[in-house]
Amino acid sequence: MNEQNILIVRCGEVALKGMNKPYFERMLVDRIKKNLRAFDGVDVRRHEGLIFVRAEKNLDINAIIKEISKVFGVASISKAVEASSELNAIGDEAVRYMMNLIEERGIRTFKVEGKRADKTFPVKSPEIGRIIGAKVLVGCKVLKVDVHKPDVLLHVDVRSDRTYIYEGKIAGFGGLPLGTNGKGLTLLSGGIDSPVATWMMAKRGMLIEAVHFHSYPYTSQRAQEKVEDLARIVASYCGRFKMHVINLLPIQEQIVMNCPEEETTILVRRFMMRIAERIAKETGCMMLITGENLGQVASQTAEALVVTDASVSMPVMRPLIAMDKVDIMDKAQEIGTFETSIQPYEDCCTVFLPKHPTTKPKLERILQSESKLDVEGLIEAAVKSQEIVNIIPE
């Protein structure tokens, strides 16, 4: 026994989904398998409401854990050893397990938490704890029991065929397996916010497609490379996706030449949303996703958001809307996009930034400004000239 490393993977909310449970679990197993595809000799399967990952001993178990923890829907992971479901065998394995911990971490106190998922097992849960605890005390002379603040809380999970022994849990991100909640089109810039927003929606099981706007030659190619780098980091969580790249320059030129300066940003935003909606419809996306955050900049005041929203009929998801900037930055650090986001390449040239942007735009006036433009024609041309980049995680 225990010639392999065993990981117990728990699905958080997935367990709550009633009749859909098997479907969600299958999706989750699929995603875990996909993330572990680089490893030979890994077995992933569902069993009694848990997911078991068995990996050959020569594989880097920490790398495997890291990959699994990136899968949305995973609540936690534990490294376990197994024994046949028989008290003596469990006791022997528990002693061996604790001896290891004494050597590795110098633990001195413990407590056993017994549980029987198999109700036909003749010993009840509290009794399991006591019996195994006694065996550990005999087997590991240096250990004492501490029921309040043990160095190690040893779980003994007795199931019909096998029993699993583990301590500690490595937290996953939670959420829901990818592909269980439709597809959304995210507006990805090179900033801090939009990658986080994308990640958060993907975490709730949404598949991702992206659109990126630039103003080449008023912005540099390096700005687009930066966005692709960011997209690849996001893709390491949500899998490969397509990014539609659109040059906004012709539209920005028309706006700058025909509309009031202070409205430039909000007008450009409305064009971006319309173009995104068009692409979303063509690619089977049911929602738009943005990194907008209430009050962060002039185009994100309540008034501006209302005017932006009025340009499309598709629902616009703004998962960061009520977060504080510092919290968004923390999240970006956590998922690993922050360092790339703060590289200095701008994705909008200052020539298109008004000196005093309007913070309280009125829809009527904006519509009036837009009446000077061939809105439909400009959108059509922009969508037509799109390039598609395949974002493949490294």
Q: Which residues bind other proteins (CB under 8 A)?
A: 216-221, 253, 256-257, 261, 344-346, 349-351, 355
Nearer to other proteins, 41 or 250 (CB): 250
Nearer to other proteins, 209 or 228 (CB): 228
Least Cβ distance, residue 267 to other proteins (angstroms): 13
Least Cβ distance, residue 385 to other proteins (angstroms): 14
* DSSP tag of 216: T
Q: How many residues in total does the chain contain?
A: 394
Residue 138 burial (CB count, 10 A): 11
Alpha helices for the chain (secondary structure H): 21-35, 61-69, 87-105, 125-139, 193-203, 221-238, 249-258, 264-282, 302-309, 325-335, 338-341, 363-370, 375-384
Respond yes or no on whether the N-terminal peptide bond of residue 315 is cis (omega within 30° of 0).
no
* DSSP tag of 314: S
Nearer to other proteins, 88 or 385 (CB): 385
Least Cβ distance, residue 9 to other proteins (angstroms): 45
Least Cβ distance, residue 364 to other proteins (angstroms): 23
Nearer to other proteins, 123 or 349 (CB): 349
**Strand-pair category, 109-116 with 152-158:** parallel
Chain centre to alpha carbon of residue 1: 35
Least Cβ distance, residue 214 to other proteins (angstroms): 11
Nearer to other proteins, 80 or 348 (CB): 348
Least Cβ distance, residue 275 to other proteins (angstroms): 21
What angle is formed at CA 286 by the lines to CA 196 and CA 271, rounded to 5 degrees?
A: 75
Nearer to other proteins, 223 or 272 (CB): 223
Nearer to other proteins, 247 or 337 (CB): 247
Identify which of 218, 314, 306 has the alpha carbon closest to the alpha carbon of residue 275. Answer: 314
Nearer to other proteins, 260 or 336 (CB): 260
Least Cβ distance, residue 378 to other proteins (angstroms): 16
Sign, CA torsion 270/274/275/277: positive
Least Cβ distance, residue 228 to other proteins (angstroms): 18
Please say whether the beta carbons of 180 and 13 come within 8 A: no
Nearer to other proteins, 38 or 257 (CB): 257
Please say whether the beta carbons of 229 and 244 come within 8 A: no
What is the DSSP secondary-structure string of 66-97?
A: HHHHTSTTEEEEEEEEEEESSHHHHHHHHHHH
Least Cβ distance, residue 343 to other proteins (angstroms): 10
* DSSP tag of 141: T
Residue 64 burial (CB count, 10 A): 21
Nearer to other proteins, 350 or 371 (CB): 350
Least Cβ distance, residue 218 to other proteins (angstroms): 5
CA distances in angstroms from 229 to 208, 336, 387, listed in the order given: 16, 11, 17
